[in-house]
Copies of this chain bind each other. A is one copy, B any other.
Amino acid sequence: MTQPAVDLTIVGSIGIDTIETPAEKREEILGGSVSYACAAASFFTHTGMVGVVGTDFPQAFLDTWKDMNIDLEGLQTVEGKTFRWSGVYEENMDNRTTLSTELNVFETFSPELPEAYRDAPYLFLGNIHPALQLHVLEQVRNPKFILIDTMDLWINIDKEDLTKVIGKCTMLTLNESEAELFTGERTLNKAAKKLLELGPEYVLIKKGGNGSMLFNHEEVFLLHAYPLDHFKDPTGAGDTFAGGLMGALAASGKTDREAIRQAMVYGSIAASFGVEEFSLDRLAKLDRDEIEIRVAEFKEMCRI
């Protein structure tokens, strides 16, 4: 059986995480930016994963992805141990501290796209070293929409490569504090204006439970986060948001502003489900109808 070509390629990290929140500690659970992003995208479109795991990677985790119909042709398995991360959340869940990072097989990771992924019209460069993000761009053929994510580490240690790769993408996403770190600006409006000067058409600033803001040269779009009664683990929420956004955008086949607004709503709702449980636990048992019901409820909450 031949797999259909993927509509969306996502590149990023795969980790085995140990996470402690004020309420609970979970050890050795499935994590990583590409895992969250592909899981969210898989509700909307055929998605290919590019990442690396070690030979210790549990079959159960692979099965979780397969059950979500994520295409794993771009997944490399390398002799050694999978990347591991552990962190602890503070009482209010707003801040977290990294306790340990073991790069393992991720240290020498070089993303290689299978032939079937190179023509995918949508590409999401998850948060990895900007030099690796540039390496991915050398392999793709004329994608029509590229989203790039990053983090404070790369802003601090390799702003040059990061600036270069951002200039080749359609949309940059980062969180509030990263936008301020990158630009030195105190308001998000001003930070976004500076980031747009690097070349992307759009800058999407994530504000966690306070929603997100999309900027281009003409307009601003403001999006709330769906308000939850309780949530268990915010790890991966930004990746889930971005993955859901790209999945929904790919499903629409469009790249215009209206399509992006709608795709952001889907990404936001996917993230609201994701944080209800640790790892992919909630997303793995989620169905499309539940998403649609919450999207409708959310739109009513935001209507003015």
Q: Are the C-beta atoms of B213 and A222 separated by less than 8 Å?
A: no
Asked if A188 lies at the interface with its beta carbon under 8 angstroms from chain B, I say yes
Which of the candidate stretches A126-134, A277-285, A294-302 sits at the interface with the other chain?
A: A294-302
Q: Are the C-beta atoms of A301 and B262 separated by less than 8 Å?
A: no
Contact with B along A34-78 (1 / 0, CB 8 A): 000000000000000000000000000000000000000000000
Q: In A152-190, which residues have CB < 8 Å from any B CB? A: 186-190
Asked if A219 lies at the interface with its beta carbon under 8 angstroms from chain B, I say yes
Q: A207-B210, A210-B207 known; A304 and B186 CB under 8 Å?
A: no
Q: In A189-232, which residues have CB < 8 Å from any B CB? A: 189-190, 207, 210-211, 213, 219-224, 227-231
Measured in the bound complex, the distance between the Cα atoms of B262 and A229 in whole Å is 26
Cβ–Cβ < 8 Å partners of A229 in chain B:
187, 189-190
Cβ–Cβ < 8 Å partners of A302 in chain B:
222, 302, 304
Copies in the complex: 2
Q: A211-B224, A227-B220 known; A261 and B186 CB under 8 Å?
A: no
22 contacts between A and B (CB under 8 A): A92-B186, A187-B229, A188-B227, A190-B229, A207-B210, A210-B210, A213-B227, A219-B301, A220-B227, A220-B301, A221-B301, A222-B224, A222-B301, A222-B302, A223-B304, A224-B224, A261-B303, A261-B304, A262-B304, A299-B304, A302-B302, A302-B304
Measured in the bound complex, the distance between the Cα atoms of B213 and A189 in whole Å is 22
Chain A residues in contact with chain B, CB under 8 A?
A: 92-93, 186-190, 207, 210-211, 213, 219-224, 227-231, 261-262, 265, 299-304
Chain B residue, CB-CB nearest to A295: B304
Contact among B186, B222, B224 with A227 in the assembled complex (CB-CB below 8 Å): B222
Measured in the bound complex, the distance between the Cα atoms of B228 and A301 in whole Å is 23
Measured in the bound complex, the distance between the Cα atoms of B302 and A211 in whole Å is 12
Measured in the bound complex, the distance between the Cα atoms of B264 and A302 in whole Å is 12
- 5 more contacts with CB within 8 A, not counting A207-B210, A302-B302, are A187-B228, A210-B210, A210-B211, A211-B224, A262-B304
Q: A189-B229, A227-B222, A230-B190 known; A265 and B304 CB under 8 Å?
A: yes
Measured in the bound complex, the distance between the Cα atoms of B93 and A207 in whole Å is 17
Chain B residue, CB-CB nearest to A302: B222
